[in-house]
Amino acid sequence: MLQNFARKHKLPIDSIVFDFQAMPNGDETVFKTKPPDGAFCDGIFMEGCRFDFDAMKLTESAPKVLYTDAPTFWFKPTTVDKRDSFPHYLCPIYRTAERRGVLATTGHSSNFVINITIPSDEPENHWIKRGVAGLLSLSY
C-alpha cells in the first residue's frame, strides 16, 4: 500500500507512513467500497481495554471481559509531515495472544505485526501497565 501510494503521488517511499483512523460503527456500506488510498482493516480484537464507539477512544475493560472487538481501522498512507496529531496510544498488534515468536532479522518477533495509533485520553503508560494490545487471532 505504501509503495502504491508513493508511486501514485510521485513521492519518495521513505517519506511515506501509515496514519490510522478508527472508523465509527453504523453504516457498513462504507466498507464495501475501497478507500481512495490505503485499506480498511477489520477483525482486530483488543486485550486489556475496550474501544468506546460513542467517544471514539480507548477506555477501561468491562469486568471479567478479556477480549473486545476493535473498530475497523483505515490504514491511510500519508507523508511524515502530514500525519495526524492527536492524543493516542501506540498499540502493538500481534498475530496471536501468546505475544511471542522467533526473533526475526528485523529485530521484531515473528508474532508482531505493526503498531497502530488509537485515540486515548490516558497517557501511554496507563495502557502499557494494563498490557493492552491488539490481536488478530484468539486462542480458545
Residue 29, in any domain of the structure: no
Residue 23: which residues within 8 A CB-CB, separation 6 or more? 30, 31, 40, 71, 72, 73, 74
Which domain, by its residues, includes 110? 2-24+36-135
Residue 94, in any domain of the structure: yes
Residue 140, in any domain of the structure: no
Residue 51's pLDDT is: 96
Q: What is the CATH number of the domain that holds 121?
A: 3.10.490.20
CA angle 6-23-44, nearest 5°? 85
16/6 Cα distance (integer angstroms): 7
Residue 134's pLDDT is: 96
34/44 Cα distance (integer angstroms): 19
Residue 45's pLDDT is: 96
Residue 28's pLDDT is: 67
Reading the chain (140 residues) residue by residue, the pLDDT tens digits are: 999 999 999 999 999 999 999 998 866 667 778 888 999 999 999 999 999 999 999 999 999 999 999 999 999 999 999 988 999 999 999 998 887 766 667 666 678 899 999 999 999 999 999 999 999 998 76
Residue 25's pLDDT is: 81
Residue 9, in any domain of the structure: yes
Residue 105's pLDDT is: 72
Domain count, the chain: 1
Residue 104's pLDDT is: 67
Residue 31's pLDDT is: 76
Distance (Å) of CA 71 to CA 37, 40, 42, 110, 138? 19, 10, 7, 24, 16
Which cell is 30 given? 462504507
Residue 98's pLDDT is: 84
45/133 Cα distance (integer angstroms): 8
Can you list the pairs that 31-35 forms with residues at least 24 positions away whose Cβ atoms lie under 8 Å? 31/72, 35/74, 35/76
What pTM did the predictor assign?
0.86
In a 3-state reduction of DSSP, which class is residue 84? coil
Residue 31, in any domain of the structure: no
